[in-house]
Amino acid sequence: MAKRVWLLHCLAFSFNPEAAIFQVSKGCRFSEVYMESLAEEAFLSTASEPQVGFTVVPGFKLGKTVIQCQVYLSQSQSTPRKRR
């Protein structure tokens, strides 16, 4: 796995302009521009906004082109409000 990541970095630095790599953190709001969901679209049909559960493959930016990162989604966790 480490060799594959190293090869991706070498490939990214060979482009002009250089490629930028990005990874989405757990709990971030899902964006169809920067992310591709690997799971079923079940989370997209619910009333709550889907959030990133974890990133499987990082994304890249090559100039103005975006290569989407691949993520698994989870439902947003709303914090319960205290009743008075």
* Residue 82 covered by a domain: no
Cα(78)–Cα(38) distance, integer angstroms: 23
Residue 38 lies in a domain: yes
* Span 10-52, pLDDT tens digits: 877 787 777 788 999 999 999 999 999 998 765 555 567 889 9
Structural domain range at position 39: 2-75
Give me the number of domains the chain comprises.
Answer: 1
Q: If you count them, how many residues does the chain have?
A: 84
pTM recorded for the entire structure: 0.65
Is 81 within a domain? no
Instruction: Please give the Cα distance from 55 to 67 (Å, whole number).
Output: 14
| DSSP E strand stretches across 6-83 | 20-22, 35-37, 50-57, 59-62, 65-67, 69-75
Which residues pair with residue 22 across a beta bridge? 59
Q: What is the pLDDT of residues 50-68, one digit of tens each?
A: 899 999 999 989 888 899 9
Q: How confident is the model at residue 75 (pLDDT cuts 50, 70, 90)?
A: confident
